[in-house]
Structure 1
Amino acid sequence: MKGKVCVFGSFNLDIVAKMSRFPAPGESLVAHSSMMGPGGKGSNQATAALRAGARVHYIGKVGNDDFGLFARRHLEKTGFDAITLFTCKEKPTGNAMIYVAGDDAENMISVYPGANLTVSAAEVNRCQSTVAAADILLVQLENNLSAIQRMADNARRSGTYVIVNPAPWQKVTDVFLQNVDLLTPNSTEASQLTGIAVSDIDSARLAARALHAKGVRQLIITLGMQGALLSSGSIMALVPVYPAQPVDSTGAGDSFNGALAARLAAGESLQQAALFASAYASVCVERAGAAESMPLYADAVARMQQYPQLGITLIEAAGETSGA
């Protein structure tokens, strides 16, 4: 059975430039190439969830402009079960400028949220039945926080499992965190949430304990090439990185979150879903672009079969304090 994932989040038009390195302040560099395409964390994660095997209902908001028309055309042909796309007359469609540089395909991103920050309480309430019908609600922080909180509250009241990917960073309250079933920060976001400088597994374990103390039940802290720390309160475990030849890391985090939501909605355990999401993200970074680079379910399964020796490594169980 395919699970149902409702994704509430941003749509942005992405403009990507590939460089040999990032320009210094005041410097102009000639790009190797450039491209324009669909993006935004919400749209990207919804696409990843769809291609990772879920039935997806995407909820977003765009401007009454040419970028908004582009968004509608793109989303309608993506293959979602349903789309709820609100329109803002005052603000343009969100957009992002993305630099991708170096052999490791690292990226720098500047985002103008535009219409993404104008979702009203009435618009959120119009989505209550959609959220209630889903197995998973997946949200990010690229929309106005009031709408995100209301959407998550509606999901909790309906018994829908809530995943929050706290990117890009916005300050959230402990009360908000307590209403989240699964939090998926990267190392930078984990640092901002806790005040602990997260750079490796040991510091991630400290941050995980601090987040559990704030009321977070389950979390996965992604650490780039070091893997990810999964913590449920009763265990901490290391999620491995699958080998890849990176071309563009722009969609890595979004691919991980979308795939994670899809497999949880399908009934897999958190550990199984996280391992799949890691394999899925490793395939994604080998392709250019964000939304259009999202792999299929079979691609991630093939990557897992290619490296059968990789698995979840238990670091700490309840009552144990080995290491840090």
Structure 2
Amino acid sequence: MNQKGRVCVFGSFNIDAVVNVPRFPKPGESLIAHDSMTGLGGKGINQAIAASRAGARIHFIGKIGTDEYTDICHRMLDNAGLEIFTLFTAENVPTGKALIFVSDDGAENMIAVHPGANMTITHEEVERALKVVEASDILLTQLENNIDALQALIEKAHRESVYTIVNPAPYQPIPEPLFAKIDLITPNTTEAELLTGIEVIDRTSAEKAAAVLHQKGVENVIITLGSKGALLSHEGRTQLVPCIPADAVDTTGAGDSFNGALAARLADGDTLEKAVIFASAYASCAVEKHGTALTMPTMEEAQKKMSAYCEFV
């Protein structure tokens, strides 16, 4: 595989506890699950593995705690297939954890996250990470770490002309001067509303939200609209990329698969339009599998999906 670009993924590393249930429990109700698993998760590592399997050269940077999961985390990463990773460790702070319910009804999910060590990135760790960012072609990050660390990394990427993708999830406020240093921002409808104050329900409202993000200084905007596709806004025009059909069984990590695949294809030299189409196909494959990080699709699976459903191929 021709791997042109180097992608630094800086982000969260969690242990996921997933239960599959026929429906979501009501408040106060105990519900019998028909399956459960514990595995690797966190938006950062999810996106790193997706980008790697979609063809990119990856250096993942994250942080875990000092607890019963420390050794397990290292073993999981050793088996994740990433080219390079840097895993910092926090003293007296637990590893990030996510509790995930996946419902048979629509394959939807409910997630509660305790970020733990993810929110304790220190100045010294940022300094070590800056060297990796400088040597990369793309920086991909999210908002599941402390914002001061993310700000330092984005500012470094901007100074070094490293293309920066920010997936603003889970939402936390972004300092206004930072928007102009982000090359591409990828909110979903909820995050777009929180960032702009505009309720996003369709293409028209998504275009209005994208315009606000452009006014803040972001050059390129992709707003993911679930089953309605993804709105791409750049170079003074908008394009709605349709959702590629899927027989969904688990939508957990759908956005992470999209962002990882997007970064991989941009790193390989695809145009933004082509990268969004591939990312849509990749996410379509991802929701047809149970789990997140270690069940991310291969590039071949996404290409097959594109060939079956996409007129652009």
Return the letter of the residue paired with 2:295: S
> Structure 1 CA distance, aligned partners of 2:274 and 2:303?
12
**Matched position secondary structure for 2:79:** helix
In structure 1, the residue matched to 2:223 is: 221
Q: For residue 29 of structure 1, report the CA deviation from its aligned partner.
A: 1.1
Partner in structure 1 of residue 277 of structure 2: 275
Question: Which of 156, 159, 163 is the equivalent residue of 2:158?
Answer: 156
- 1:46·1:56 contact (CA, 8 Å) conserved in 2? yes
Equivalent in 135, 139, 142 of residue 141 of structure 2: 139
Partners of 1:144 and 1:159 in 2: CA distance: 23
Corresponding residue for 2:238?
236
Separation in 2 of the partners of 1:239 and 1:109?
Answer: 27
- Residue 36 (str. 1) matches residue 31 (str. 2): no
Residue 66 of structure 2 corresponds to 64
- Contact 2:63/2:88 (CA < 8 Å) preserved in 1? yes
5+ long unaligned stretches in structure 2: none
Return the offset for 1:68: 2.1
TM-score (structure 1 length as normaliser) = 0.94
In structure 1, give the amino acid aligned to 2:139.
Answer: L
- Match of 1:264? 266
Amino acid at match of 1:95: K
Name the counterpart of 1:27: 29
Pick from 68, 72, 75: which aligns with 1:73?
A: 75
Q: Is the 8 A contact 2:229 2:242 kept in 1?
A: yes
Q: Is the 8 A contact 1:10 1:116 kept in 2?
A: yes
Identity %: 55
- TM-superposed CA distance for 1:310, in Å, is 5.8
Cα offset, 1:233, TM superposition: 4.1
1: CA distance, partners of 2:263 / 2:310 = 22
Equivalences for residues 31-110 of structure 1 within 5 A: 31-110=33-112
* Alignment check: 8 A CA contact 1:162 1:181 kept: yes
Q: How high is the TM-score relative to the length of structure 2?
A: 0.97
Match of residue 187 from structure 1: 189
Query: Aligned partners of 1:8 and 1:266: how far apart in 2?
Result: 19
Shift of 1:156: 1.2
Q: Is the 8 A contact 1:119 1:147 kept in 2?
A: yes
Runs of 4+ in structure 1 over 4 Å off: none
Structure 2 counterpart of 1:304, from 283, 303, 306: 306
- The Cα offsets for residues 221-251 of structure 1, whole Å up to 9 and x where unpaired, read as 0010000100014210011111110010001
Equivalent pairs, count: 311
Task: After TM superposition, give the deviation of residue 281 of structure 1 in Å.
Answer: 0.3
Alignment of 1:167 with 2:169, yes or no, is yes
Unaligned runs of at least 5 residues, structure 1: 312-324
SS in 2 for 1:206: helix
